[in-house]
Amino acid sequence: MVRRKITLVQRIGCVIGFIVSCFFALSFISTLIVSLLNPTLTSEFVKSHFIFSKFGVVGGFLIHIIGNLLFAAVAIFLALLSWKGFTSQLNQAVLVTTKCICKNCGKVHKLYYKSGPNPTDEYCKERGFIPFPVDDKFKCDCGFEIDLSSFRNDLDEGILY
């Protein structure tokens, strides 16, 4: 299976984003749980905080709880997004199209190579492309056989995409 090359910086960035987002999500969730389990301590915090105190004890308490819920949800979303970015790049579908010219008759054949779960067969066939042969040998209408093994090697090494 052909896989898209991912730079080390991209991998590290996704992993760091995932770790930081998980840390923030756990932090907001734990603050939310502690606030709900000990409302007396939270109401004292709300009274002493310069922003929450402007809304009163009940209003500040609700804003504190709702804020923790929203920030936890955003942090979880960002963690999932960075994890998806890391894993989706590993299994991304690849579609390569090329033109193959017969050396015997000069006819141009349009070939496509795909890997991954993307349903591109109908799209390519509608545009006149032929699937890349499994045995790397394409036979022209004139009977001439074209060896495509070097093209396949370039695909497998990731040179062509």
User: Total structural domains in the chain?
Assistant: 2
Residue 158, pLDDT > 80, answer no
Q: Tell me, what's the pLDDT at 23?
A: 95
Contact 112, 131 (CB under 8 A): yes
Structural domain boundaries, residue 120: 94-157
pLDDT tens digit string along 16-33?
A: 999 999 999 999 999 999
Check whether residue 78 and residue 122 sit in a common domain.
no
Q: Give per-residue pLDDT as tens, 89-121.
A: 555 556 777 888 888 888 888 888 776 656 567
The model's pTM is 0.52
Please check whether residue 1 lies inside any domain of the structure.
no
- Residues near 2 by Cβ (< 8 Å), separated by ≥ 6? 94, 113, 115, 116, 155, 156, 158, 161
Residue 2 domain-assigned (yes or no):
no
